[in-house]
A and B are shown apart, each in its own frame.
Chain A
Amino acid sequence: MSRILTEYEASKLLSEYRIPMIGGSLVNSVEEVARTASAIGYPVVMKVMSPDILHKSDAGCVKVGISDEKEAERAYEELLENARRYKADAKIQGILIQKMAEKGTETIIGVVKDEQFGHVLMFGLGGIFVEVLRDVSFRVTPINRRDALEMINEVKASKILYGARGRSASDVNSIVETLLKLSELVEEHPEIVELDINPFVVYEEGKGGIGLDALIRIE
């Protein structure tokens, strides 16, 4: 038996291990939207939370750059409608409202449970680097700091993180820390068979990084 944890649930677990996640608040009625969104502070992002809708963007279940109350309330209705159109009987936990994150370098950090080796961590840079070039690295858990750094450096695109072409260097240490904490997390949670933090956005050196979406499958 396999079960999916939505971003909201997955983020909670990741946060318990002090992995920085954007988080957010779940709302279940349009009345809650304005209060919640202004508490978080505009601009906000709103997403449908459903274990039946995994690729939220493809299903029209994400709205970004929402800048006021009116827009937020309209987004709430639209998102629910899109979700129902995508899958009529989708189980919906609510609408997640979260702070709109600043731009940074997108990476993907994940875990898969392998038959022979158990949990294996993956790291790569977002977009074409992972999707097209499969420029990723793996390590079997548990890992140490040196393993984490090796994982990052093994990825060809990691040069971008170190400040290629006039860009400033990224906070590589925030990736190292996340990998280490993730290693710890899966050691204590053998039921996890797949996990994605995608994207994990990395900022300039000293400014950390943050996960903007996550998915966990447990068995």
Chain B
Amino acid sequence: MHSSESSEVEVKDVKNAGMPRRELLRYFFAPKAIAVIGASATPGKIGYQILYNLKRRFKGDLFPVNPKQEEILELKCYPSIVDIPEEVDLAVISIPAKFVPEQVRLCGEKGVKAVIVIASGFGETGEEGKKLEEEMLRYALYYNLRIIGPNCHGIYNPRTGVDTPFIPERRMAKPEPGNLVLVSQSGAFLGALGDWVSQERIGVSNLIGIGNKVDVDETDLIDWFKDEEETGIIALYLESVKRGKEFIRVCRETSKKKPIIIFKAGRTESGARAATSHTGSIAGVDAIYDAAFKQSGVIRAESLEHMFDVIRAFQRQPLPKGDRVAIVSNGGGFGVVCADAIELNGLKVARFTEETYEYLRNRFPPHYGITNPIDLTGDGDKDDFKDAMEAVLKDENVDAVILGIIWQGVVLEDEVVEVLAKVVKKYDKPVLGSSPGGEFSSMMSEKFNRLGIPHYPIPERAIKALSAMVSYVRRREEFFRDEE
């Protein structure tokens, strides 16, 4: 029995009867009212931190539920969810595992549409915990409500102020609104990733911890964010995929609209199975995930670092229309390294048009390298960079540009950052950059990042991110062609 296969409940006294289960997901992200079951008056407790964070950010009504308290954080406290006079869309349950199913039942009676179960001590601990999960799921299906969790951090949405990851502000900076939804199967990772994207100034539509996925799983969420307008990039940290074939189908549809980037842990897990056939003995678990991701159009990140490199590229730059790359730098070695990495990552070093060559020949002194990679040498200043960049961005044989800046010289002015940011914005081609080096280079990279040109400490990372973009665009075209 699974959520997506079960038909809508037709029982008369069920308040949510007849609502499509997919539509119910809306109430996780944009509820009008939230109840916190297990709200605590004691600072340092999870039930306190959740209420505290919600009170600071959430724009709708907030109801603490705790039979032993009159009031918490100046909010009137209710003995039970069913005692709340107003309608409640979302309930956050933060009480020990064994009491959770009964509270889910009461949420059902109340007509709550979405429930986040924070507590751990469920399926991850053994048979007893699995039984609790099954009980919860039965209520979820009977009352037609959706559950995220258990054993999860829930949701952070900077626009609506839903904020259930119980992390104190001084421990985790909260990301700004943006177009990335970041889903994590691991709660601890969600906090770390959230903190990181915040520092990297990567804006999010939602951070979501999905935990044990008793009801809502990765496929439900990908399917939801496929059509959600504030989200343009879907990234997931996963340890497993629950409904394989449905996952592939949904990802294929979604990839036609927006990129999905997945970092899947457990690569080295041995795929040994009891097998009679050759095929059975060879087919490793990870090889199958790899195939499934390819079929789905999913970009498989090699590491967390790679995942964020790719996210930054997608978030800040337009999609490339092809695989021909120009390199503009003030270091000969940089250009050579880039040309190698471009070929190794399935991209092409662009051949400029005659027009571009002629322009470059006339514009620059003879000791500059004007065939791709362009080498502006240690003599290159900000105007040289500006004109070279403009020339390659205009060139119809160029689909993307890798920008390399060597700061360890005397000629190049700091202002080149602002100058280039302005040029790049005029054209609809992706530009990714790299400023190899130490403290000063990192500072300038940061400046580039802020101005919208993703910058990486080493050029290979920029090229790998670009390569992911190109593969995505190619895959998308193939999916569209499959339909014809």
* C-alpha spacing A198/B281, complex, angstroms: 14
Closest to B243 in A: A116
In the bound complex, do residue B244 and residue A138 qualify as a contact, i.e. CB atoms below 8 Å apart? no
Interface pair A122/B245, CB less than 8 Å apart = no
A114 near B282 with CB under 8 A, answer: no
Please give me the residue from chain B that is nearest to A136 by CB atom. B282
> Is A122 a contact of B276 with CB atoms below 8 Å?
no
Task: Give Cα A215–Cα B280 distance, bound, in whole angstroms.
Answer: 11
Question: What 0/1 readout, one digit per residue, does chain B (274-305) give for beta carbons within 8 Å of chain A?
Answer: 01111110110101101110110000000000
Contact A117 B292 (CB under 8 A): yes
Which A residues are closer than 8 A to B by beta carbons? Answer: 4, 54, 108, 110-112, 114, 116-118, 120, 122, 124, 130, 134, 136-140, 143-144, 146-147, 150, 193-196, 198, 215, 217
**B241 at the A interface (CB under 8 A):** yes
A140 touches B292 (CB 8 A): yes
* Contact of B482 with A by CB under 8 A: yes
**B418 in the interface, Cβ–Cβ < 8 Å?**
no
Can you sample 21 A-B contacts with CB below 8 Å? A4-B276, A110-B277, A110-B278, A110-B279, A112-B275, A116-B241, A117-B241, A118-B245, A122-B282, A122-B283, A139-B291, A140-B244, A140-B245, A140-B291, A146-B478, A193-B280, A194-B275, A194-B276, A194-B279, A194-B280, A196-B279
Q: How far does the alpha carbon of A114 sit from the alpha carbon of B247 in the complex, in Å?
A: 14
The listed residue (B240, B276, B287, B295) touching A215 by CB distance below 8 A is: B276
Q: In the assembly, what is the distance between CA of A124 and CA of B283, in Å?
A: 12
B283's contact among A138, A150, A215, A217, by CB below 8 Å, is which?
A138
A119 to chain B, nearest CB (A): 9
Instruction: Assess the A108–B244 pair: CB atoms within 8 A.
Output: no
Alpha-carbon separation in the docked complex, A196 to B242 (Å): 26
When chains A and B are docked, how far (Å) is the Cα of A117 from the Cα of B273?
15
Q: Are A196 and B277 in contact (CB under 8 A)?
A: yes
State the CA gap A2–B245 with chains docked (Å): 24
CA distance A120 to B279 in the complex (A): 10
Cα of A158 to Cα of B244 in the assembled complex, Å:
28
Report the minimal beta-carbon distance from A179 to chain B, rounded to whole angstroms.
13
Asked whether any CB of chain A lies closer than 8 Å to the CB of B72, the reply is no
> How far, in angstroms, from A111 to B275 measured CA to CA in the complex?
12
> Contacts of B295 on A, CB cut-off 8 Å?
139-140, 143, 147
- Smallest CB separation, A190 vs chain B (Å): 12
Taking CB as reference atom, which chain A residue is nearest B284? A134
Q: Point out the residues of chain B lying under 8 angstroms from A215, CB to CB.
A: 276-277
Given contacts A110-B277, A196-B279, whether A138 and B482 have CB atoms under 8 Å apart is no
Residues of B within 8 A of A143 (CB): 295
Which residues of chain A come closer than 8 Å to B294, judged between CB atoms? 139, 150
Pairwise interchain contact A134-B248, C-beta atoms closer than 8 A: no
A138 near B287 with CB under 8 A, answer yes
What's the Cα separation between A130 and B285 when bound, in Å?
17
Q: Are A122 and B279 in contact (CB under 8 A)?
A: yes
* Bound-complex Cα distance A117 to B176 (A): 36
Q: Is the interface of B mostly helix, strand, loop or mixed?
A: helix
Q: Which of B244, B245, B283, B292 lies at the interface centre, i.e. has the most chain A CB atoms within 10 A of its CB?
A: B283
A195 to B279 Cα, complex, angstroms: 7
| Chain A contact residues: helix, strand, loop or mixed | strand
Complex CA gap A138/B279 in Å reads 10
Interface residues of B, Cβ cutoff 8 Å to A? 240-242, 244-245, 248, 273, 275-280, 282-283, 285, 287-288, 290-292, 294-295, 478, 482
A217 lies within 8 A of B277 (CB): yes
Residues of A within 8 Å of B273, CB to CB, are 112
Tell me which of B242, B244, B279, B285 contacts A111 (CB under 8 A).
B279
**Across-interface contacts of B280 in A (CB, < 8 A):** 110, 112, 193-194, 217
CA A196 to CA B285, docked complex, whole Å? 18
Tell me the nearest residue of chain A to B283, going by C-beta: A112
Q: Most chain-A Cβ atoms within 10 A of its Cβ — which of B291, B295, B482?
A: B291
Q: With the chains together, A117 CA to B286 CA distance in Å? A: 12
C-alpha spacing A198/B282, complex, angstroms: 13
Q: How far is the CA of A111 from the CA of B280 in the complex (A)?
A: 8
Is B291 touching A137 in the complex (CB atoms < 8 A)? yes
Q: Is the CB–CB distance between B482 and A114 below 8 Å?
A: no
Q: How long is the Cα–Cα vector from A117 to B246 in the complex, in angstroms?
A: 9
Is A140 in contact with B277, judged by CB distance below 8 angstroms? no
Name the CB-closest residue of A to B274. Answer: A2
Q: Could you say which residues of chain A place their CB within 8 Å of the CB of B275?
A: 112, 194
Q: Is the CB of A140 within 8 A of B288?
A: yes
* A130 CB contacts on chain B under 8 angstroms: 278, 282
Do A140 and B248 touch (CB < 8 A)? yes
On chain B, the residues within 8 Å of A139 by CB distance are: 291, 294-295
State the CA gap A150–B285 with chains docked (Å): 20
Interface pairs A-B: 5 shortest CB-CB: A110-B279, A117-B244, A138-B291, A194-B277, A196-B277
Closest Cβ of chain B to A116, distance in Å, is: 4
Compute how far the CA of A137 lies from the CA of B283 in the bound complex, rounded to whole angstroms: 9
Residues in chain B near residue A4, CB distance under 8 A: 276
| Closest chain A CB from B241 CB (angstroms) | 5
Contact B277 A120 (CB under 8 A): no
Q: Given A137-B291, A138-B287, A138-B291, are A114 and B244 also a contact pair (CB < 8 Å)?
A: yes
* Cα separation A117 to B291 with both chains bound (whole Å): 10
**Cα of A198 to Cα of B294 in the assembled complex, Å:** 26
- How far is B280's CA from A112's CA once the two chains are assembled, in angstroms? 5
B482 in contact with A146 (CB, 8 Å):
yes
Most B CB atoms within 10 A — which of A108, A120, A140?
A140
C-alpha spacing A194/B277, complex, angstroms:
6
* Chain B residues whose C-beta falls within 8 Å of the C-beta of A114 in the assembled complex: 244, 283, 285, 288
Q: Is the CB of B288 within 8 A of A138?
A: yes
Known: A120-B288, A140-B248, A140-B295. A112 touches B482 (CB 8 A): no
Bound together, the chains give a CA A27 to CA B255 distance in angstroms of: 55
Instruction: Looking at the assembled complex, report how far the CB atom of B262 sits from the nearest CB atom of chain A, in whole angstroms.
Output: 14
Contact A116 B291 (CB under 8 A): no
Q: Are A117 and B282 in contact (CB-based, < 8 A)? A: no
Q: Please measure, in the bound complex, the distance between the C-alpha atom of A194 and the C-alpha atom of B276, giving whole angstroms.
A: 8
Contacting pair A195 B244 (CB below 8 A): no
A117 to B243, CA, bound (A): 7
Compute how far the CA of A143 lies from the CA of B285 in the bound complex, rounded to whole angstroms: 19
* Alpha-carbon gap, A198 to B278, bound state (A): 8
Nearest chain B residue, comparing its CB with the CB of A54: B276
Query: How far, in Å, is A106 (CB) from chain B's closest CB?
Result: 12
State the CA gap A78–B291 with chains docked (Å): 45
Which of B241, B277, B482 contacts A195 (CB under 8 A)? B277
